[in-house]
A and B are shown apart, each in its own frame.
Chain A
Amino acid sequence: MAHFDENAKPFSEKWLDERIGLNTLKKVLNTEYWIPKNINFLWAMGMLLAATFGLLLVSGIMLLMYYKPDTNLAFDSVNYTIMSEVGYGWLWRHIHGVGASIVFLIIYIHMFTGIYYGSYKRGRELIWLSGMGLFVAFSAEAFSGYMLPWGQMSYWAGMVITNLFSMGSLELNGLVEWIRGDYVPGDAFLNRFFMLHVLLIPLAIIGLIVLHFGTLRLPHVNNQEGEEIDFETSAALWKSGKRKESKVIPFSPVFLSKDLFVMSIYFILFFYLVFYHFEFAMDPVNFDPADGLKTPAHIYPEWYFLWSYEILRPFSKDIGLIAFGIAQVAFVFLPFIDRSPNVAPAHKRGLFKIWFWVLVVDMITLTAMGKLPPTNPTFATIGLIAAVIFLLLGPALFVISRIEKPLNRGA
């Protein structure tokens, strides 16, 4: 079928279209990728995540130029060289630190938006599953990055988290030593986590983002009412000029301009944090160099891991690990635990609405308790109760969604 216009100017639109199908690409990805009108700013979170990932990538590349993955040199290469010698080195470090923290805030908002509006079922299961893949990959990326400055929190977080792989009474110490490449976190450990952080996991994340976008293309994004839109009819209305009557808008340029508006506000806040309040993303304990003979008085993970950490803590070792394991994978199964056929916002789903808010409050409670030292019995009890509630929410959803009445969807 190949037909090439001899007279097309190199790199002109026509020339490109004949060679890489530029117009088809534009249609599929932009001008004829239809987005419902009936959505709100919460649907911009996905693009905020993509943009934040971009910032993490750029600042990370800059940091790489002076970072040294060596237990003797790492701490100073970050805290001395990059922070006070390299021109604007502090800027990249603060962007990277703030970005790594804020990206989890946006991920949680994005996830809970999906849960609230039921965007994980009836054709959107793969969006949810690839999203969970991203969540796992981002968690691994954050953890491996946290090792790199080789401060006290790096070392002891590395110790505690790799010890999880001994699987409690199974005593798989060989596996732990294999992961570390040493009896304790050392040079081999730092170097392999450096490799994971700067190459393998980012590659996986990029692949997963492409997959996530791919899984969105056919089901399209959900909307505020969970309405099943006939995209073809609506798109035809738009194209015929009846833009008011159409329920959809093209992704680009129309929806993208809305995305960019939300993104602008987000980046004002983001850079306010980078310049004036970066300290929330920099744990003071990690400004002491790693010392294998001294545990910091109180070890806690970054805020975004606190809820699952608090599920580990109140139980005995084996039960704690099992509970923790369940909590880590629980969200993956959401599309299959929710048995209700309704794709609708939580406020239209009766008991599900209560379930949703209990989940939100419970996770915030777990997060708050996880930050406190383990010695206060009142807070330890609250943590225990919150952990038990979290574990019961899964079976509860199964029951609630089974007895939920199908919504009557008249026109």
Chain B
Amino acid sequence: MEKNRRDFMGMALGGFAAIGGVGALYAMKRTWDPLPSVKAAGFTTIDLSTMEPNKLVVEKWRGKPIFVLKKTADMKADDRDVVIGSDRFHVSIGLCTHLGCIPAYEGAEHKFKCACHGGEFDASGRVLKTPPPSPLVIPPFKIDGNKLVLGETGPEYKKMQDAGLIA
């Protein structure tokens, strides 16, 4: 009997300590989480009517660089293009899908080149040369007249998403 009482005390102590430990770990995990204000970080609106063809514009959304490239008529069209009237735009998060460097745009070659490990993308963000495993990621967007709202999901983005084109 004496032994069982000790076992019970041991298990009760261990159980409460374990609950406390798990609770502490959870609190620590939550402390490391991004803050709500960071998560709610707003939307970015980009005016596309002022863009010049084959000239890369870099905007900022949630701290990340956003590539906007208006294509010239002779540049290859792609399902990933954002189409407004007769203009085609390449819009993507400007971070290499390998490890996140910002590729540079070489206008003459119509290529994005990443200096970090030598990856290359074409003007539609598709991979020409590894190590990057996948195309440049298209951020959630909504077309609003001549403007593009990043962070909102519009029907054009949904269509790309359903077709598996965003990355």
Contacts and interface: CB of A to CB of B under 8 A. Distances in A.
Given A292-B63, A317-B131, A181 B101 contact: no
A84 interface: no
Contacts of B34: 177-178, 180-183, 188
A316 B32 CA distance: 31
B64 A184 contact: yes
A299 B116 contact: yes
Interface in A294-310: 294-299
A219 interface: no
B43 to A, nearest CB: 14
A226 interface: no
Contact of B35 (A163, A188, A293, A297): A188
A374 interface: yes
How many B residues are at the interface, by size bracket? 20 to 34
Contacts of A180: 34
A236 B22 CA distance: 53
Interface residues of A, number: 36
Q: Is the interface of B mostly helix, strand, loop or mixed?
A: loop
Contacts of B32: 178-179, 181, 192
Contacts of A40: none
Contacts of A192: 32
B26 to A, nearest CB: 13
A350 interface: no
A318 interface: yes
Q: Which 3 A-B pairs have the closest CB atoms?
A: A374-B118, A184-B63, A295-B102
Given A179-B32, A182-B38, A317-B133, 15 more contacts: A160-B116, A169-B133, A178-B32, A183-B62, A184-B62, A188-B38, A192-B32, A292-B60, A294-B102, A295-B103, A295-B104, A298-B116, A299-B101, A313-B131, A320-B131
Interface of A: 156, 159-160, 163-164, 168-169, 177-184, 186, 188, 192, 292-299, 313, 315-318, 320, 373-375, 380
18 contacts: A182-B34, A183-B62, A183-B63, A184-B64, A188-B34, A188-B35, A292-B60, A293-B58, A294-B102, A295-B101, A295-B102, A297-B115, A299-B116, A317-B130, A317-B131, A317-B133, A374-B117, A375-B118
